[in-house]
Structure 1
Amino acid sequence: MTRHPLSHAAGAFALLLALNSCGKQEQPADVPPATPAPAPVAAKPAAPAPAKLADPVFTATPVDLNGFGSDEPVLRVNEPTRGVIVIEPKDIKHTSQQHWDQYDCVSFNAKRWGHYEVRVTYTLRNATLGTQFRFAQQPLKKTLMATSQPKCVVYGTVYVEKPTLYPFSLYAAATGNEPGFEIHEVAFVPAPEGPAPVQAADGSIVLEASSATTWSESMRFEPKSEKNCLGFWTSEDDFAEWDFEVTKPGRYKVTVVHGCGTGNEGSEVAVKLGEQELKFTVKDTGGFQKWSEEAVGEVEIKKPGKMRLVIDPVSKTKSAVLDVNKVLLTPVS
C-alpha cells in the first residue's frame, strides 16, 4: 500500500483540534444588549366637566308708551299748560311743490323769550316721511312713522329771542296726489335753559334758575350775568319747576336765594316737593337783584329717584312777586 504523508499529517492535526475542543461549551454569537423598557407614563387626570352656565337674566327697561319701540320721550301725564303756545291747523297754510309739501305759519306769537320744545301731532298713511321744521333759521329734522291715530312727537328745542310774531315752516317729502300727511297741532312747550341739576358728593343740591322750567306767560329766565335769575314774576299764576335726580335720600334744609325791590315785599310763596309744602313771605332785600337767603324749612326725601321742586306764588301784593336766583337743598346732619 502506498502511504501519503501529507494526508496523515492533516488527519492528525484535525484529530488534535477535536481533542482540544472536548469538554468546552459552544459560545453563542455576540447579541446586542436589550433596550430597557420605557418607564410607565402616568395617565393624565380627566378634564373636569364644564360648569353649567347660569341662565341669562333679562332686566326690565322703561317702555316708551308714547310710541312703542321708538326713541320718543314719554310725555308727562297731566303736564301743565301755562305758557304753552298751540298752533291749530287753521293757522297753517299748506302748499305743494314739485318734490315736497310745505306748511307755513305766521301767527306764532311768543309772550316771553326763552327755550321752547317743539311738538307736532300728526297722522300719516305712508310708512315713513322725512320732515324738517324751521324756526328762525333753527332747523330740526325728524323722520315720522305711519300712524292712523294722532301721534305727538318731539322735534327738539328752539330759542325765542324776544316776544314778537315768529313765522315757522315744516317741510315734508311729497306724498303723491292723495295727501297722506296731516298736521293736527303744533305746540311750543316751555323748556329749561340750562342742564339738569346734579347732586354733589356731599349730598347738597343746587337748583339754578337756568335749570327751571318756567310755566309762565311773563316770568322767564334772565340770562344777563348781573341777573341770572327768574324774573318778570308779575303774575301769581306763573310758576317754576326743577326736575332732578336724588342719589342720597335724607332730610334737607330748603333755602331760597331771592331778591325783592322796596315796596314789593309781602307776597306769599309756596315751595313744594311732592306732598310736602313750605311757605314764606317775601321780604324787602333792597332790590330785585340784591340776593338774600331765605331758609323756608325742611323736607324729607325718603328714597333715591326723580324729584320735582316747585316754586308757586300764593299771592302777589304789588307789581311783582320776587326774583329767584337759585334754591339750595342742604343735607341736615
Structure 2
Amino acid sequence: MNLFDPRLTIRVTFVIASVAAFSTVRLGVADPREQAGHAWPELDAGDAIVSRTDDAVFFELAARPPQGLIKFARLNNVVLHVSASTAPANTELRLTQDPSMWSIELPESLSFPTQIRMAVHGTPLLMSVPYVATPSGDGAIVLSACHAIVHGDKLQFEPQIYKNTVGYWVDPQAWAEWHFQVKQGGQYVVRVLQGCGAGQGGSQVAVVLNDSVGELSRVPFTVQETGHFQNFVWRDIGKIEMDPGAHRLDLRVLKLARTAVMDVRQIRLEPVGRVSNEPLAMADVEPDLVPPLLVRAEPRPGRRVRQTVDGYDSQRVYHALYLPTDWREDQAYPVIVELTGNGPYRNQQGDVCEGTVEHAVMGLGITGGYGAIWLTLPFLNDEGVSNVKQWWGTPPQYRIEKTLDYWQRALDETCAGYSGDPRRIVLAGFSRGSLAANRLGLANDQIAARWHAFICYSHYDGVVETRPYPEADRAAAVARLGRLGERAQFICSEIGTGPTSLDATQNFLHAVHPTGNFLFHRTGFRNHSDRWLLRPSDCRTELRAWLTENTQTD
C-alpha cells in the first residue's frame, strides 16, 4: 500500500520545528507561545478559544477536549504547519479532514493548558461565505482549490502543502464550484492545472459556466494521466465567452473512466488578445505553488527538512532537503541543487532575498515538487562554521574550500541516503547563486565533475569583472568555462538592459565560448526575484521542458 496515495489516505502529519532555530513569523514557524492575534468567535472549535493573525489560527485549550480532538469547519486556506506550545520539539500533530470539517488530533502526552498554532497560507478565511475571485493584474481570473465549494460524497479540498488540491474525487456525481466576478467581457482561454495517477486517466469532465439564471456554456475535456495525482500539469482545454458581472464555474464529471477522476489545484481564465509591451510584475500574476516550510523532522515525500552533514555544527551550518511527492526508495531521481542570492536584499519593486536556505524557492518552481529531489546548499564562511548570507567565505579572502567540501559531502549523503542519481545532478542558482554556478561549480575538476547541467538565473560569471571576490575577472571566468565542455546551461534573466542583462551575457558567451550548449530565455518579469518561478509563464514552461530533456535516463 502506498501511504502517500491520496486515494488511500487523507491523514497528514505536521511536524513542529525547533522554536530556537525557526523563530521568523514570515516562515510560519514562529514561537508557538506568541500573541494569538484577534479573537475569532465565528470559528466554532468546541471548548477552544479561537483567535487569528494574518497567517495563523490559534486554539487556546484549558483542558484536553473530548476524544482528544479539536474539530472545526473547513477553511479556505492551505495549511503550512501545526504546533503546540507545550509539546517538545519535533512532536507530531495530525490534521484530518473530510469535505466539511477539519480535526487536529492532540497526542496523549500533551499537557494543558496549551496553545495550538495552525499556520496557514494567506489570511484565515471561513468557508461559510463563498469566496468571489476577481481579475489579477494580468487580467486572469484565478480559481484556486482552496476556494472551491464541493458537493457530493468524499470530494474535498485537501489542504496539506504538498497536495493543495480538490481531490479524493471517486464519486462521479460529485462536483466543485467557484464564484467570480468578470470586469471586462470577452473571450477567455480556460486552463486547468490537473494531476491524475497512473492508470486513472481518460475520464470525461466539463467546465460549466453559469450566471444567476443558469448554464451559459460548457467546455468538455478528457482528463490526462500524469503519472501521479500530485504531478500537476497545465492544460489549455478551450475558450469561453463571458459578459461582465457575477458568474459561477462548475467542474462536473460526464463519464468516470476508472476509480478516480483527477486532482485539480487551479483553474485560470485568461483574456484572449491581451497584449502588453511592458514586462510583467510578479504581483500581477497569481502563483500556482505554495512553498513548504523548513522543519526539523525526518524526510518524507512533500516535506522540506533541515539537515547538516557529518562533521559540521548543526546549529549554524545546514542545508535543506525536499523529497518529491512521487519519491520512492527504490527509484533514482535527478537532484536539483539550488544556490540562493545575496541577502538581505530589497529593491523599490518590493523584491526580497534573505540570502538564506530557508527562503529558497527556485528548486520548487523548477520541479513543481515532483520528479526530482530539491537540495538547497549553503555558502559557508572561511572557517566553515556558519552559513553566510552574502557571497561565500569571509571578506576579503572569500575562500571557497569549506563551501565546496560541504557541497561534496551533502551530495554524497543525498545520493546514498535518498536515491539521488549522481549522474543527473543539476546546479541551479539565482543572482549570487547564478554567479557561483560557474565560479564555485567549475572551480576545479573535482567539483565540476559533479554536475550534469546548469541553470543560471540573473547574472553570469565573468560578464562583470568588478565583483568583490578573487578571480572575478574575464580571463579566470573563461578558464572555468573550459571545464564546462558540452554540458547544457539554461541561462535566463529578468527583462532589462545594461551590463547584467541577458543580452550582455549572450554577447560575452558568443565571444568567449561560441560552441557552448546554451539556451537563453527572458523570464517575462521585471522582478529580480526567484519567486517568478512560483507562477506560470512561458519561460518556466520552457525551463521544465529543458530539464526533462536533459535529465532523461537512457
Find the structure with the greater CA-based Rg. Answer: 1
Does TM, scored on the shorter chain, surpass 0.5? no
Greater per-residue helix proportion = 2
Q: Higher relative contact order at CA 8 Å, sep ≥6: structure 1 or structure 2?
A: 1
TM-score range, shorter chain: 0.3 to 0.5
TM-score normalised per structure 1: 0.44
Return the structure number with greater strand share. 1
